[in-house]
Amino acid sequence: MAVEEGVAPVAGTDGDEAVHRLKPNAVGLLGVVFMAVATAAPITAMTGNVPFMVSSGNGIGAPASYLVAMVVLAIFSVGFTSMAKHITSTGAFYGFISYGLGRTVGLASGLLATFAYVVFEPALIGIFSTFATTTLRDQTGTHVPWWAFAVLMLAINATGTWFGVSVAEKLLVVLLATEVTVLAAMAVSVALHGGGPHGFTFAPVDPVNAFKGTSAGLGLFFAFWSWVGFESTAMYGEESRDPKKIIPKATMISVLGVGVFYVFVSWMAISGNGEAEAVRAASSANPLTMFFNPTERYVGHWAVDVMQWLMITGSLACGMAFHNCAARYLYALGREGVLPSLKNTVGRTHARHGSPHIAGLVQTAVTAVLLGAFWAAGKDPYTGTYVLLAILGTMAILVVQAVCSFAVLAYFRSHHPESRHWFRTFAAPLIGGIAMLGVVVLLVSNMGAAAGPESGSLVLKATPWLVAAVAATGVGYAQYLKRRAPQRYALLGRTVLEETKER
């Protein structure tokens, strides 16, 4: 089959060297959905974000924020999935943007996306370690230093990636099923008991209330933050059984399924307390009581204990999913020889498991270094490590999402006339791109409030500059390759799955 100039099929060759590919047909639709939903970490998003949104954001309008975010992300996903039907690459954003806006913007975006996923893992290890230390102390009286749990999670993540996506999928299915079940049990119980002490109230899901409260912008940002990672569906295309069908379906299921779940659970948490009582609970010394109170009242005290343990497993699942994402981005950059030395290191796959095993080990080492640096600086694993790195990664990935929307718009202007559609390939990516830029503005204007006690941190102040520096590095290096190594430049973002390559 003929291919577009510059395309390197995964199963083909680059010069005399074979391009290593990931294990094909390793995961199905539900597996991809689970991997994507795991990055959202439903129990962490609910118990960690909703109380803060209620106390300092848009108050009882928090569920409406999720409703608004779901609509915006669904529109973004229309364009994203339209491109996923034509381009299948582990590089996901890197490949999409390279085809739509060119190799230079593609490499800059690929580095930004890689950077985001690389820092997300230590962020999640920080919150995992905090949950584990606190729960063990509260329920058993045993004190274990947080770094011990950090080492444990590093080992679990590295092992999961080494043995391939199917192993990680099995672990995530169990972890996600349990955390979703306990949150659903609370929400359904409140609904079956008439909506709480004051009955059902529809104010929390009134879209108008998403734009009210102490800081509507902060509330909306946290709502979008709760979805970070849903777009990771595309990077499992090469390992899925029918990527042209599975990736678009998995993306929309992730956005809409998670959205409906977030709206319902946060709504029932507020209703189960009562509106005024929910605000008081969220503003108290222990904001988690906003979820614990209705859980204990309508399900039982045992469910509160279980919820605490599931907060640990939920953050573990999220961190594991981000580790897989980071490893695949490192692998995607490596196999194309962005740096020649990477091709036979992070660009290799395991001979038996077909996994990006070396990229996974590199990601583990980088995460360990970052955790060590934050520990040496005396940062708390939650208020320091988690919050600062999560904000840094979120800014980077939101910028990439916005650029990707405009890449979809540009791609369909010159490719696949048979697939062009006024909404799917024009209006949706245009609206999605503008909306994503708006979310970036929300983040920049609310960074200090989101960081809480770390609002004066040097890392926080440097966040926009770090993101800009990574993007500038990508632009500069791509231009260097264009002049000095045009053959390597031609391959940037062009390695796609052979069965769906450009014709």
pLDDT digits (tens, 9 = 90+) for 394-421: 999 999 999 999 999 999 998 888 888 9
- Domain membership of residue 169 (yes or no) is yes
| Structure confidence by residue, pLDDT tens digits, 479-503 | 999 999 998 898 888 765 544 444 3
Q: Return the pLDDT at 13.
A: 39
Range with the poorest average pLDDT among 226-240, 252-266, 406-420: 226-240
The length of the chain, given as a count of residues: 503
- Domain membership of residue 494 (yes or no) is no
Q: Which two tokens stand for residue 263?
A: 């709206």
Beta bridge partners of 240: 27
Q: What is the 3-state secondary structure (H, E, C) of 343-366?
A: CCCCCCCCCCCCCCHHHHHHHHHH
CATH number, domain of 360, equals 1.20.1740.10
Q: Return the pLDDT at 8.
A: 43
Q: Return the pLDDT at 11.
A: 42
Distance CA 420, CA 502 (A): 16
The DSSP-derived string for 90-152 is TTTHHHHHHHHH-HHHHHHHHHHHHHHHHHHHHHHHHHHHHHHHHHHHHHH-----HHHHHHH
**Which has the higher per-residue pLDDT, 130 or 38?**
130
Q: Which of 167-171, 291-295, 450-454 has the highest mean pLDDT?
A: 291-295
Q: Which two tokens stand for residue 292?
A: 């614990």
* pTM exceeds 0.95 for this model: no
* pLDDT over 70 (residue 95): yes
Q: Residue 151, SS3?
A: helix
- Which H or E run contains 92? none
- Domain membership of residue 135 (yes or no) is yes
| Structure confidence by residue, pLDDT tens digits, 206-218 | 999 999 988 888 8
Q: Which of 51-55, 176-180, 337-341 has the highest mean pLDDT?
A: 51-55
Other CB atoms within a 10 A radius of the CB of residue 476 amount to: 13
> Domains in the chain: how many in total?
1
Distance CA 45, CA 341 (A): 39
Q: Return the pLDDT at 39.
A: 79
What's the gap between Cα 308 and its chain centre?
22
Contact 252, 74 (CB under 8 A): yes
| Structure confidence by residue, pLDDT tens digits, 463-478 | 999 999 999 999 999 9
Contact 108, 262 (CB under 8 A): no
* pLDDT over 80 (residue 10): no
128-to-10, 161, 192, 313, 373 alpha-carbon distances in Å: 36, 19, 32, 8, 18
Q: Which two tokens stand for residue 442?
A: 């929300």
* pLDDT over 90 (residue 356): no
> Any idea what DSSP says for residue 185?
H
- Domain membership of residue 76 (yes or no) is yes
Q: Return the pLDDT at 170.
A: 75
Q: Which two tokens stand for residue 235?
A: 């990077």
Q: Give the list of residues 6+ apart from residue 338 with CB closer than 8 angstroms, or none.
A: 107, 477, 488, 492
- Domain membership of residue 115 (yes or no) is yes
- Domain membership of residue 14 (yes or no) is no
Q: Residue 263 is part of which domain span?
A: 29-489
- Domain membership of residue 340 (yes or no) is yes
- Domain membership of residue 81 (yes or no) is yes
| Structure confidence by residue, pLDDT tens digits, 319-328 | 888 898 898 8
With pLDDT > 90 as the criterion, what percentage of the chain qualifies?
Answer: 53
Distance CA 90, CA 279 (A): 43
> Any idea what DSSP says for residue 20?
P
| Structure confidence by residue, pLDDT tens digits, 42-60 | 988 899 899 999 998 999 9
Distance CA 305, CA 134 (A): 12
Query: Mean pLDDT for the chain?
Result: 86
Q: Which of 10-19, 24-33, 372-381 has the highest mean pLDDT?
A: 372-381
In 3D space, the residue among 391, 389, 383, 393 whose CA is nearest the CA of residue 452 turns out to be 383
Contact 251, 84 (CB under 8 A): yes
